[in-house]
Amino acid sequence: MLATYAIRNYYYYYYNYYYYYYYYYYYYYYYYYYYYYYYYYYYYYYYCYYYYYYYYYYYYYYYYYYYYYYYYYYLYYYYYCYYYYYYYYYL
């Protein structure tokens, strides 16, 4: 009777141990996953927001001098940011 009780407590103890181990493992896994997800999401959002309007206004400022140069970089950052923004948005 005591042996059966001891074996049952033994398996009960290790079952709870691994249960809480995997519980906290997945908890921290998803915590850091969403942390880095939103970090990169807002990083690309504000990064692109800055460069998008930066080249937008400089494009008109240097319109007669560097038309093709700024127009190229304007499109580059526009589509670059468009891709990363929706990539992290729908990820």
- Per-residue pLDDT tens for 34-87? 888 888 888 877 877 787 777 777 767 766 666 777 777 777 877 877 777 666
Its pTM stands at: 0.35
Domain boundaries, the chain: 2-89
Beta-carbon neighbour count of residue 70 at 10 Å?
19
CA distances 49 to 45, 53, 65, 76, 79, Å, are: 6, 6, 24, 13, 12
Average pLDDT on 7-18 reads: 62
